[in-house]
């Protein structure tokens, strides 16, 4: 609970804007979550994937990808109300 309340928001801050693409950066961020899940005494000897399952968490890479997909959905379906010229997309209003 403490991880989800205090650390998780900092690790995911500005997810859609600052998304690391270098392997070293991704591993460094994921290491924060790995270390936090090791602090749960009952899960200490289990592999990382089992930690995530038991704590009902996802990898941070998955969460970034999911966040990106949600933002694209919002843009396409005008939830963000971004100005766009529909007449310039030949035949389909959902082309980007």
Average of per-residue pLDDT values in the chain:
78
Q: Which pLDDT belongs to residue 81?
A: 61
Tell me: the pLDDT tens digits for 54-73? 988 888 888 888 888 888 88
What integer is the mean pLDDT of 8-30? 77
Report the C-alpha gap between 21 and 64 in whole angstroms: 11
pLDDT > 90 fraction of the chain, expressed in percent and rounded: 3
Whether this prediction's pTM lies above 0.75 is answered by no
Residues 6+ apart with CB under 8 A from 21: none
Q: Which range, of 3-7, 23-27, 42-46, 86-90, averages the lowest pLDDT?
A: 86-90
């Amino acid at each position: 609970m403490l991880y989800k309340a205090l650390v998780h928001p900092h690790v995911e801050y500005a997810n859609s804007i600052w998304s690391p693409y270098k392997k070293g950066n991704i591993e460094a961020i994921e290491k924060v979550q790995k270390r936090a899940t090791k602090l749960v005494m009952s899960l200490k000897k289990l592999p990382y994937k089992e930690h995530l399952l038991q704590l009902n968490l996802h990898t941070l890479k998955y969460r970034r990808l999911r966040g990106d997909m949600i933002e694209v959905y919002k843009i396409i379906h005008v939830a963000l109300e971004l100005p766009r010229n529909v007449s310039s997309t030949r035949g389909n209003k959902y082309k980007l």
